[in-house]
Structure 1
């Protein structure tokens, strides 16, 4: 039995969930699967219904100004002329919330959008690239690159210098990824359509790695209501197994002393802290405390399971607390 299989077996209790009467009542009221609501009662306790209620409302639209193509002040001015009111987000260097929009054009149909002056991106989704903080001399791996929001953001932070190897295995997703890379004028990206596992057979290694892992998308319920009932507990377990495999690959490809940022658009501890706990206890990685963001700390105790205290250095975003999509970000370092 592999290390990952043993680990999943060790923590199998986390996937055993018996919905309470209260969870069933709330699941019917808000249209969620009852096992999901039982987990939210563990996560949020008295604030669980606040979270469920908040998921019924769309999030404010937000964009990332692309300084590879324009000055942000100029972008704000040009968008104002079209009837858009942009408000700077204090904790994101290039992030803006759309406070007012005209009936036409839509946010994705302006000349500025088509010219790559901005990328339509969730606020919390912008955080991983800032946490990774790549320099112009780094060699960076983006392990699951499509549709390209974080990939092109990395390119922007590197001023189109250094090298980003962007990997995407899906033929369907590679087209919009390439389109966004071109539109945003991200020139330091080498794009590969392949399963990232093929890189294990090479001698490649990287200064920094971004693993925005494939996940259930449980943090995107305010954007996509179908996610209230889309993911079974079995599906969640399968996602967790994939994420454990991917973080193991990331560890092998990362240089000693290198940085790995792991993120998901999920609030599920099964996809978040459980995976980071594996990186700490099985791979010997260390977490780096993330600060400067209006977010909650990583969860140490969940559903009768206790994780390594280092997972508290990770951060979580929630719609009812932070006004963003549900999101998880953790900064890991490969020890010397």
Structure 2
């Protein structure tokens, strides 16, 4: 039995046993969520559960990332303001703006500036992983699950198109989308490979930094997609867990000693977040590094009878009812 199989088997009975009370059923019905989801939220959100559930029906403020590879951000701000948009700089982001007002026409995706690649429409929380990884000019960086290319092109921008990003995607249709974004945004330092992240050790390359924005349930995207209130079943979470652990282990093999990996998901599910990072700490010997200057809640140290490493408090949890962004989880790991 592999370490991953053993880890999953040891945790399975605790993670996937649910105690659904009449009160849980009432709350789930009130907000249109599945019972088991509410049971979990009550454990790690406590009194904030209904605030979270309610916030999932409130539209989020749109956001964009100015593409400094093609335009000065001050000039972009003026051009969009002249068109009737109202922008506010995101305090912790080097290139991010909240779009607080949108004119009747044009839409964000139909401006000349958008078509020229002067900006990328990107959720605010999804800008966090590249900022945390902070790739530098000249580094060799791996993006293990790169579609649709928002974080890939963000990292290229942070690197000023210098150094190399190896971006992986195993879905041919998604590859076309990434190529389109890379071209539109003027990115020139990305090597795009038709490959799944689990196969990356076959390349025989070691990387300075790795972004693993893992495939997940998208449980943090409910404000953007209400169907996710009832879409993911416990069996789906189990499948995502196995994929996430497999990708993490593969990434660990090709990360240089002393190198950094950001593990992130657009999910608030501990099964996909702390459970995965705890494996990195306890089985792979990775260390969790503190994330500075970005708003968020601390990672969990326990869930459904499982105890996680105290280091996980240095991970970031993002919630729509607290940070007013899509739900996200971000953790910075170092290979010793």
Q: Which residue of 2 aligns with 1:276?
A: 277
1:58-84: CA deviation from partner (whole Å, max 9, x where unpaired): 100000111001011000100011110
Other-structure match for 2:220: 219
| Secondary structure in 1 matching 2:264 | strand
Give the Å deviation of 1:23.
1.4
The Cα shift of 1:32 comes to 0.5
* Inter-partner Cα distance in structure 1 for 2:323 and 2:199: 38
Q: Deviations over 1:34-78 (max 9, x none)?
A: 100111101111110000000011100000111001011000100
Cα pair 2:144 2:196 within 8 Å, conserved: no
Equivalent-residue separation in structure 1 for 2:27 and 2:180 (angstroms): 42
User: Aligned-pair distance for 1:20?
Assistant: 2.1
Identify the residue that residue 9 of structure 2 maps to in structure 1. 9
SS of equivalent residue, structure 2 residue 201: helix
Distance in 2 (CA, whole Å) between partners of 1:309 and 1:10 is 20
Which range is displaced more, 200-209 or 67-76?
A: 200-209
1:86-105 equivalences in 2 (<5 Å): 86-105=87-106
Aligned to 2:192: 191
1:174 deviates by 1.0
Match of residue 180 from structure 1: 181
Partner of 2:164: 163
Aligned partners of 1:20, 1:267: CA distance in 2, in Å? Answer: 22
Is the 2:132–2:332 Cα contact (8 Å) retained in structure 1?
yes
Q: How far apart in 2 are the matches of 1:149 and 1:22?
A: 41
Which residue is equivalent to 1:147? Answer: 148
Which residue is equivalent to 1:74?
A: 75
Aligned to 1:259: 260
CA distance in 1: counterparts of 2:202 and 2:98, whole angstroms: 43
Task: Map Cα deviations across residues 96-155 of structure 1 (whole Å, 9 max, x no partner).
Answer: 011111111110010101111111111111011011111111000000000011000000
Q: Which is further off, 15-24 or 40-49?
A: 15-24
Q: In 2, distance between residues paired with 1:198 and 1:308?
A: 28
| Per-residue deviation, residues 272-294 of structure 1 (Å, max 9, x unmatched) | 00000000000000000112111
- 1:238 aligned onto 2:250: no
In the alignment, the residues of structure 2 paired with residue 324 and residue 318 of structure 1 have an alpha-carbon distance, to the nearest angstrom, of 6
Contact 2:199–2:250 (8 Å) recurs in 1: no
Which deviates more from structure 2 when the two are superposed, residues 116-125 or residues 12-21? 12-21
CA contact (8 A) 2:299 2:313 kept: yes
Structure 1: which 5+ residue stretches go unaligned?
none
Q: Deviations over 1:252-289 (max 9, x none)?
A: 01011100000000000000000000000000000001
Name the SS for the 1:325 alignment partner: coil
What do you get for the CA RMSD once the two structures are aligned? 0.8
Deviation at 1:22, TM superposition (A): 1.6
Partner residue in 2 for 1:313? 314
TM-score, length-normalised on structure 1?
Answer: 0.98
How far did 1:223 drift?
0.1
Query: What is the CA-CA distance between 1:215 and the residue it aligns to?
Result: 0.2
Match of 1:333 in 2: 334
The residue that corresponds to 2:47 in the other structure is: 46
Task: Write the distance in 2 (CA, Å) between the matches of 1:173 and 1:19.
Answer: 39
Aligned-pair CA distance for 1:202: 2.9
How much does 1:196 deviate? 2.2
Q: Aligned equivalents of 1:198 and 1:45: distance in 2?
A: 40
The TM-score, its normalising length taken from structure 2, stands at 0.98
- The whole-number CA distance in structure 2 between the counterparts of 1:7 and 1:104 is 53
Q: Name the CA distance, whole Å, in 2 between partners of 1:72 and 1:35.
A: 45
Hey, what's the Cα distance between the residues in 2 that align with 1:268 and 1:280?
A: 18
